[in-house]
Amino acid sequence: MGGVDEVTPVGSARGWRISLGVCAGLLVGFFCYVPAVILWQHFFEVPRPRVYPHGSFTSFGLDPPPVGYWVSWAGPAVLVTVPWRAARQFAVPFVPIAALAAWFVIGMDLFFTPD
């Protein structure tokens, strides 16, 4: 019996927990991550970065965004994913969704200048 893999029975409690964890991770990553970061930035008085001109995507020059700004984006994700080894089915879909949301909002914060 060394080559037989254990299969989770259909309808088992473990299977439902995994499914619910994946769905919750996707929903929380999509709907709650950006508001959590905005609250973090507000309550901890994180300094806002300046808007960088068009064409400065490769270098921030002599005035990079403050370290606190980057920490405010990484902090909530670390608080959600690191301590919960038992909830890794939640963290696995949360991380890419949160990263995409962060990439979009950081890009808007740093490089969007209305003409």
Given a contact cutoff of 8 angstroms between Cβ atoms, the answer to whether 49 and 65 are in contact is: yes
pTM above 0.85, yes or no: no
Angle, helix 88-111 to helix 33-43, in steps of 10 degrees: 60
Contact indicator for 44, 72 with CB cutoff of 8 Å: yes
The rounded distance, in Å, linking the Cα atoms of 44 and 113 is 26
Q: Which two tokens stand for residue 54?
A: 């068009």
Q: What is the model's pLDDT at position 113?
A: 61
Note the pLDDT tens digit of each residue in 26-83. 887 878 888 889 988 999 999 888 777 665 555 666 678 888 998 899 888 887 776 6
The one-letter code for the residue type at 91 is A
